[in-house]
Structure 1
Amino acid sequence: MATDTATDVFEAHRSVLTGVAYRMLGRVADAEDVVQETWLRWSGTDREQVRDPRAFLMRVTTRLAIDRLRQITSRRESYVGPWLPEPMATDLGRTTPDAAERALLAETVSLAVLVVLESLSPLERAVFVLREAFGFPYGEIAETLDRSEAAVRQLSGRARRHVEERKPRFEVDPRQRQELTEKFLAASTSGDIEQLLALLAPDARLVGDSGGKAKAPLRVLETADKVGRFLLGVAQRPIEEPELVITEINGGPGLVIFSRGVPDAVMSLDVADGRVQSVYIVHNPDKLAAFAR
């Protein structure tokens, strides 16, 4: 197989490999490292002996992601304050025009669901991602993980129940989420506390991730009043040459805050029943590099 052909085959599967690795690891940099290692193994393999390149690439990526996940778990145990996945700019509306497929991908890549996935074992997380996000058949997942199909079905059922019990509800209509995000931004920046509280669910919560490298709550804030007043305080914080950009983040509308052209924070919302249920703010500069201009 020629080098160009090997590259073409790999590039044809890169987006899916990256999607699996990111959902497994919650960090863009870790996902890219895993995909790069998969490329190195693919380029060094006797590809004439590979009957199914897609299965080969998926198997390598998934196993590397499981190994990386086991390595980084201890890092997160010593993390300062709440930990959130690294936010990622997405454009599911363009890449997946089918509404049902878009809703599924958006849900499985949301910050809220990625946080829930953190509580799964590496194998459960791999099965959940391959089955629920990408629809791989049980038999193929079993070959990927070198497990029996019965064991994979058991892992899948356990992971699905765990996620369903803990994941937040989502507003499935992208336009409604977009409109509410815009109203939420307007209320926050204008200092209209009454309007802001009207947009927040009574039991709304805010999770801020700074890693100890920026100002953010060291605990999860709960109740609309606490969340609203914190956000108004953030809006009044002086920022040099501020710029606010609404864009799709992790499958839903989000906000990127720039200071002098450098990403300062990313905010994402969970929306259901016409109100904001959860606010996620990533203020750790190490997790914002992907949004640099």
Structure 2
Amino acid sequence: MAWQYSDKTKILFMNAVNGNENSHFGEIADADGVGEHGSIACGDAMKFFFKVRRAENPVDDVIIAAKYSTFGCTSAIASSEALCEIIEKGEYTPIEALKIRNEDIVKFLEGLPSQKIHCSVMGAEALEAAVADWAQKRGVDLEALGVHLESKEDEGSRLVCTCFNVTESELKRRIVELNLHTIDDVIGAIKAGGACGACQHAPGGIQDLLDAQWGVQDDTTLDNVQKMKLSPYQLSKRIEAVLEEDIRPMLAADGGDVEIIDIKENLIYVDLTGACATCPGASGTIQHVIEKKLRDKVDDALRVIQI
């Protein structure tokens, strides 16, 4: 899918990838604050650096330079560039910089596709981590100053999305802050639920947290959410999760197993192995066990074909 980006976003992205001198891409060797957010394994990661002009009282330090390194898409790079520009032009103290929200980054970029809002959130989170690092190095007690870091609130909170390490505390906060009403909204804003999808409708999962905040949706709305079109990656992860949790244990009880050979749209090509490979009832296993379970738990349009 081709995302629609603003001219501002495109310019910042091209400046970075072309190594223009006004780009903020890179690292600060002797940085006063360093923070990270995201995961390369999940497809997006950012490391943020800033240098301060030191004051006699550390609280009055002023950020004079900001840089970043990132593993991510156009939105991630442009959001990182935007964050650096906002901070440098604003001549913020590290504590003042904490007031910068992801909405400020999106506004600076003149908009982002809704599916890419999580990139701006990543920048704000990396900034917070860098400020925490600065405070530790400079001996600043943020709590004593009445500054409460969101990351501290998330410590010890139940993990809801294991793919993207998103806790219940963070989800509840983001649902309110970003006005997220559907699972699609959550995936676009913070990525949670966007990989295997197991946390979307699990007990205590994303839908339950949305319902707790906004009220239970009617059956029609819920059906629409459950039948949202999955990306190829989401579909493969969801299928694999159902295989691992529901199908393979049943086949293993009879000494068999199943291997996915390929997935083409709604067609899943599989190979039965072990005892299932030579079983006279293999076709029944495909239709009444594997296909039925995948249709019930993933998408009722799926068809399973044995190779």
TM-score under structure 1 normalisation? 0.27
The answer to which structure has the higher helix fraction is 1
Q: Indicate the structure whose relative CO is greater, using CA pairs within 8 Å and at least 6 residues apart.
A: 1
Q: Which of the two has higher C-alpha Rg?
A: 2
